[in-house]
Structure 1
Amino acid sequence: MAPIGGGTFTVQNKILPGAYINFVSAGRAAQLGSRGVVALPLELNWGPENKVFAVTAEDFNRTAIDVFGYDPTDTSLLLVREALKRAKTLLAYRVNSGGQKASATVGGMAVTAKWGGTRGNDLKVAILTNADDATKVDVVTYLGTMEVDRQTVSAESGSANLKDNNFVTFGEAETLTPTSATALTGGSNGTVDGTAYSNFLNAIEVEAFNVIGYPGTDETIKALIAAFVKRLRYDNGVKIVGVLYQYDGDDIGLINVKNGVILADGTTITGDKAVAWVAGASAGAEVNESLTNVAYDGAVDVDIKYTKSQYEAAIQNGEFAFYADNGKARVLTDINSLVTFGDGVSEDWTSNRVVRVMDGWANDVARIFGERYIGTVTNSDTGRELFKADLVSLAMQYQAIDAISNFESADIVIQQGNGKRDVVVNCALQPNDSMEKLYMTVTVN
């Protein structure tokens, strides 16, 4: 006969003989965080207003018409394309939101563009007698010459059975009168000003992203973005990076783009517009990758060329520059704008690859602590050893992909802080960087 006692236990205080067994999941090993998300404020002629919306590189070609109102190859989507050449996801925000929505009255029914913006003026709506049933009509929406929606409903039921589509909303109408294609008019873009960019920063602050860029030249907006990046990095512990055009940020979290490129189709991407590619490429680069000498996708030249001494000065000034190389435009060196050293800050910190390692580590540790330990694990020797085990596992993953070197578990020390709920972590990491300079002596016999 089996013992009459049994079950699970919390403490060892059982009275009856028997087997008391708890099953505890070993849990998943701590994992590196993902990268690839870039945030950009954009002036667009169509699309969601006063909100952040995501577009993935994978879905862009398929969804461009519905989201942005244009074919993915249209010139108005140039910055979107440049950002998504290397980023996985673009978090876009229309800084020219708030414009008028185009509208028209078609066959006795009010039709209004879904979004404000000038693209709404390219919309037309027609009400056509159905070819198979004269009691019905086809309500057709066109964007330019492209049919983007067709609905067949009873003419006598009016608009009751019509559904708003991706481009227009339909007002109430008791009956629908056949009418040829009628253009919507009055659409306009909203005003772009400092308030619009402040709204963008307020909206994007609650989103998760790696890099934020400003593809413009306004010095006030540059300073606004730079202050935002520094506040999130140093006050909030959110390790993001900002990309600006010709802005001497002198900070590891700010990249200072110097010049631009020329694409194979002849399009000139000036330095301020090249911010989109740099921001997307920086977001898409993993912690073990550098953009040094990487070719700008689709570029055949640079827009402004410099001498060797000018490029040397650019590096010393913390400028991210492109150079021409046999029909390509390449990144001179993947650096940030830091130019002041000392107080624990070395020249190694100018490398964006090194910064990606440090930022990745900080974000990963914060994520692991938040997901697994806050409020759930006791701040005891056992709990801190569990936390250390996760951090050692994380560091070994960094070392396995050559992001860091010479790591040993003793390099991480975790102790209780001053308070019962405080945990103090001291760790020593040695980030790796990519080869850039070759010094070779050849002896000729």
Structure 2
Amino acid sequence: MTIDELLYLFNNKKELTLKDNFIGKIIKELAYINCNINYEFIDEINREFSHQQYYKNTEPKISACILTLNESRTIDRCINSIKEDVDEIIVVDSGSTDNTLKIINERFTNAIVIKEQWNDDFSLLRNKAVEYTTNDWIFFIDADEYIDDQSKGKIKKIVNFLQPLDCQPYYISPYIKDHNGDQYTNTKRIFNKKFKLYYRGRVHEELFHDNYEFITDIGINVIMHHDGYKKEVMKNKDKILRNLQLIELMLKEEPLNIKWKFYFAKNLLNQSSESSKIKAEKILTTIIDSSRVEDPYFLKSFILLCQVYISKSDLSKLKESIHYIKSNKVPVPQFDLAYLEMVFTLMAFQSKLSYMSTAIEPMIAEINNSYISSNNNHIKNVISIIGFFTGDFDKYFKYLPDTDNLYEFNSRILLDKLNDSLRKNHK
């Protein structure tokens, strides 16, 4: 099967999934195909892709690779979730002192445990794990991840369908769903050893090939859950400090690689000190001034810098950034651009309201000849509303009118609606 044939199948996904056959059942599990091949689908092509044509008599053999270091909280859950999809489990442990190895040895006697010293390099451990495998197909899963119950058993079937694919190197990407609901694509977790892919980078490691800059990515509808970024886990395992140290090492080894500058800035922003945030902003600005727009880490840096402007309420720079994206057709995700525009509009609205409130508040005590309210209760009401929308609730309650001084557009209605909503959502 060529990549063109696979793309043809994927392009006709809706029609094929209506058929109750092998191809129909498998093609629906493909989520996306990201390749750099220029192709055109010709309507006249009407091939028959049968079960016999692509279903191999011998199922693919898959080796799962897991890196561990004090993973007693999750290792049982992880291995139990993959048993239907793999033929071999390789665990590379870098010095666990908890019950991780005891759990593996007692509950998963077929798992092969390899002990390797931690040398500040995740890629080194991943590449070592691949060396210990005896099967062609590799599936990497982290110890704090597990396959969703509805996705169990899918990986082997999908790999069986894709293994005849005759093209340049490719990897297969399940979805990863974080504990907070975030979903990640382009996870690059499944690949064949024949492609000679290898990991590079002490942290935030990625798959590379010596002769191919671009590697085809095939996304699949297999969901893996991950809870390793929960605050208590990050704190207990000191992941933030560990990652920052590894990124600093990468910056020394590859000082011109903007990937490490980006991650260094991102980690600085996770720190509470103002000096760290200032330093991060400078690094991100340098990346944008010296990098190509097409570089994915340029785009990530640009969006992260915009988030810095939002946190600082820097409307001027945020406005400039949005204008730059639009005028230069910077290929940021459309949802991100929409978010930046909405936040800018809201922040500008809040700024104007706050200015109006500050300007008019000193006039409340003055005598006026208003036809609406001689004691300025109508003005107090509007300032109360402004306090509600700008989050200044001290001001909101300070000028909240009593029930005898209600107006057509009054702030007490907002309080009533809020209370109603709170009651409905906390039953």
Flag whether TM exceeds 0.5 (same fold): no
Short-chain TM bin: under 0.3
Tell me which of the two structures has the higher relative contact order, counting C-alpha pairs closer than 8 angstroms and 6 or more residues apart.
1
